[in-house]
Chains A and B, each alone.
Chain A
Amino acid sequence: MSRQSFSGLSLLWRGLSRHAGWQKQWRKPEPKARYDAIIVGGGGHGLGAAYYLAKEHGLANIAVLEKGWIGGGNTGRNTTIIRSNYLFNESAALYDHSVKLWENLSQVLNYNVMFSPRGVMMLAHTVHDIQVIKRHVHANRCNGVDNEWLEPAQAKEFCPPLNIEENIRYPVLGAALQRRGGTARHDAVAWGYARAADALGVDIIENCEVTGIRRDAGGAVEGLDTTRGVIHSRKVGISAAGHTSVILALAGVQVPLESYPLQALVSEPVKPIFPCVVMSNTIHAYISQSDKGELVIGAGTDAYTSYTQRGALHINMHTLDAICELFPNFRRLRMMRNWGGIVDVTPDRSPIIAKTPVPGLYVNCGWGTGGFKATPGSAHVFAWTIARDEPHPINAPFTIERFRDGHLIDEAAAAAVAH
């Protein structure tokens, strides 16, 4: 179907005509009986995978099934941090692939995802932090990923609200800065991919929960039972974050995942005060300022596995303790909302983007606490994997079998990862 194009001129024109005549951004189709490929999960990763399947692999007949509404899971619940300064070669390739796609995503989708490469600064508070972070800086630069070491005064210059006094509980001893990192608008990512995928003929079907996976005599996937009826397809990609284990269990597939609550919170909106993203893994604080003016703050995961999309208050308090010490200006700010999402965590804190033992069933999961940054890259290589029935070179290491074979991509121990 033809699609209105967004531009400054079209915005001005519609504004002058009192915003009448805007089209719906995507259709609300009834599910067809059969598709060439189905993506389960209408978050950024799933919608993106459908978009790239249609755009780059020529599949015309694709559906995205979403249990609730698109972008209502972790895509709409995260702190929107984008960076690629991971330690290992495999991770650096995957996350930097994503950052490169972010850089042109608004133009490619004709939808403003508000990607803002304002710089991501990761703080060091101990001698060990300094050693680990400097190792990351050098490893990143060897992999062509920008990252630089800042002394405390330089960190303060880059982020003026930062407290670099030496008499605080965890003084800032330095920082790593990835200038290409930043933030994007989470909802716009889901909506932009949905709109672009819909324009290529992808059916986006909301309120459609998968209740069974149908398999033929040979064991291969032949369709899905859903709350909106049986839908046939020989290719099914699961992109369901915290509920991946539940859906894969329908086909008897087990993956090494545990689902944990991860919380975030926002302050009341204030004038622009915070120019970048600051993360501290040691004391669990992640902070940036949204374009609406709210400070967006991320905490660590809760201790226990859960599917409740809520967590304990003491986790947030722990994070706010750190924020108030690092940014004394914010001590009197009121927090407006907090919420939780359910993140699927692998033992090595790296994702799984792979074929499963069931022919025709593919999985993109295990993004844990840091999946938003990877949305375009993850979707891009997952679409490749589904279309060609073999992994893209970038996601080839991210198999399920790596846990059996010992080829872990152990970003957990590497500690540049926020979790």
Chain B
Amino acid sequence: MLLIVCPYCGKRPEIEFTYGGQAHLARPDQPSQLDDQAWAEFLYMRSNTKGVYAERWRHARGCGRFFNALRDTTSDHFLAFYKTGEPRPVLSTSPAPPAQSVAARTDAAASPVTERKI
């Protein structure tokens, strides 16, 4: 089971959360302008990344809020948690973690991004 750090409530077990899929997908501003191909891409195409993936979680059995996370899909280690609306954090392989994801970084300390097997 994953340990997930809700940016509002702190570290909680996975069963308190629901998964929201790929993050940073904006609904098209002008839906009527889109052709079928563009709609299909918005509705169905996901990057399905093998590696660091930006995804949404919802603390459904807690505060109820959505937030985003960066997770390495080859190890399931979280690399960062951040609030909806904030830009995707830029990860460096240096040991200094982004300020808002200290707790997550501690969990993932044993698995820096460079360790990934592709």
Question: In the complex, A170 Cα to B53 Cα: how many Å?
Answer: 37
Question: Would B53 and A305 count as touching, CB distance under 8 A?
Answer: yes
Q: Residue B44 contacts which of A303, A304, A314, A347 (CB distance < 8 angstroms)?
A: A347
Give the chain B neighbours of A310 by CB distance below 8 A: 76
Question: Would B19 and A256 count as touching, CB distance under 8 A?
Answer: no
**A258 located at the interface, meaning its Cβ lies under 8 Å from any Cβ of chain B in the complex:** yes
Question: Would A314 and B48 count as touching, CB distance under 8 A?
Answer: no
**A403 located at the interface, meaning its Cβ lies under 8 Å from any Cβ of chain B in the complex:** yes
Question: In the complex, A201 Cα to B39 Cα: how many Å?
Answer: 45
**A356 located at the interface, meaning its Cβ lies under 8 Å from any Cβ of chain B in the complex:** no
Q: Residue A313 contacts which of B1, B40, B76 (CB distance < 8 angstroms)?
A: B1
Give the chain B neighbours of A256 by CB distance below 8 A: 40, 44-46
Q: Which of A308-339 contact B (CB under 8 A)?
A: 308, 310, 312-314
Q: Residue B48 contacts which of A258, A313, A347 (CB distance < 8 angstroms)?
A: A258
Question: Would A308 and B75 count as touching, CB distance under 8 A?
Answer: yes
Question: In the complex, A245 Cα to B46 Cα: how many Å?
Answer: 10
Give the chain B neighbours of A313 by CB distance below 8 A: 1
Question: Would B48 and A259 count as touching, CB distance under 8 A?
Answer: yes
Question: In the complex, A136 Cα to B93 Cα: how many Å?
Answer: 53
Which one of A254, A305, A313 has the highest number of Cβ atoms from chain B below 10 Å of its Cβ?
Answer: A305
**B50 located at the interface, meaning its Cβ lies under 8 Å from any Cβ of chain A in the complex:** yes
Question: Would A305 and B48 count as touching, CB distance under 8 A?
Answer: yes
**A404 located at the interface, meaning its Cβ lies under 8 Å from any Cβ of chain B in the complex:** yes
Question: Would A308 and B76 count as touching, CB distance under 8 A?
Answer: yes
Question: In the complex, A347 Cα to B50 Cα: how many Å?
Answer: 19
**A110 located at the interface, meaning its Cβ lies under 8 Å from any Cβ of chain B in the complex:** no
**A216 located at the interface, meaning its Cβ lies under 8 Å from any Cβ of chain B in the complex:** no
**A307 located at the interface, meaning its Cβ lies under 8 Å from any Cβ of chain B in the complex:** yes
Give the chain A neighbours of B37 by CB distance below 8 A: 404
Give the chain A neighbours of B15 by CB distance below 8 A: 314
A400-411 to B contact mask, C-beta < 8 Å, 1/0? 000111100000
Question: Would A403 and B40 count as touching, CB distance under 8 A?
Answer: yes
Smallest CB–CB gap between A343 and chain B, Å? 12
Give the chain B neighbours of A307 by CB distance below 8 A: 50, 73-74
B: interface residue count bin: 20 to 34
Question: Would A308 and B36 count as touching, CB distance under 8 A?
Answer: no
Q: By DSSP majority rule, is chain A's interface helix, strand, loop, or mixed?
A: loop
Chain A interface, number of residues (Cβ within 8 angstroms): 23
Question: Would A304 and B45 count as touching, CB distance under 8 A?
Answer: no
**A243 located at the interface, meaning its Cβ lies under 8 Å from any Cβ of chain B in the complex:** yes
Question: Would B55 and A305 count as touching, CB distance under 8 A?
Answer: yes
Give the chain A neighbours of B2 by CB distance below 8 A: 304, 312
**A106 located at the interface, meaning its Cβ lies under 8 Å from any Cβ of chain B in the complex:** no
Q: Which residue of A lies closest to B75 (CB)?
A: A308
Q: Residue B14 contacts which of A303, A305, A404 (CB distance < 8 angstroms)?
A: A303
Q: Residue A405 contacts which of B14, B36, B45, B75 (CB distance < 8 angstroms)?
A: B36
**A246 located at the interface, meaning its Cβ lies under 8 Å from any Cβ of chain B in the complex:** yes
Smallest CB–CB gap between A66 and chain B, Å? 17
**A281 located at the interface, meaning its Cβ lies under 8 Å from any Cβ of chain B in the complex:** no
Question: Would B18 and A303 count as touching, CB distance under 8 A?
Answer: yes
**B88 located at the interface, meaning its Cβ lies under 8 Å from any Cβ of chain A in the complex:** no
Question: In the complex, A405 Cα to B40 Cα: how many Å?
Answer: 8
Give the chain B neighbours of A246 by CB distance below 8 A: 50
Give the chain A neighbours of B19 by CB distance below 8 A: 303-304
Given known contacts A246-B50, A258-B46, A258-B48, A308 and B74 CB-to-CB distance under 8 angstroms: yes
Question: In the complex, A405 Cα to B102 Cα: how many Å?
Answer: 46
Question: Would A243 and B50 count as touching, CB distance under 8 A?
Answer: yes
Which one of A243, A304, A308, A310 has the highest number of Cβ atoms from chain B below 10 Å of its Cβ?
Answer: A304
B69-108 to A contact mask, C-beta < 8 Å, 1/0? 0010111100000000000000000000000000000000
What would 6 more interface pairs be, CB under 8 Å, given A307-B73, A314-B14, A347-B43?
Answer: A304-B76, A305-B21, A307-B50, A310-B76, A404-B39, A406-B36
- Among all A-B residue pairs, the 7 with the closest Cβ atoms: A256-B44, A245-B48, A404-B40, A303-B19, A312-B1, A403-B44, A347-B44
20 contacts between A and B (CB under 8 A): A246-B50, A256-B44, A257-B46, A257-B48, A259-B50, A303-B19, A304-B2, A304-B76, A305-B73, A306-B73, A307-B74, A308-B73, A310-B76, A312-B1, A314-B1, A314-B14, A314-B15, A347-B44, A403-B44, A404-B37
Binding site for A on B (CB under 8 A): 1-2, 14-15, 17-19, 21, 36-37, 39-40, 43-48, 50, 53, 55, 71, 73-76
Binding site for B on A (CB under 8 A): 243, 245-246, 254, 256-259, 303-308, 310, 312-314, 347, 403-406
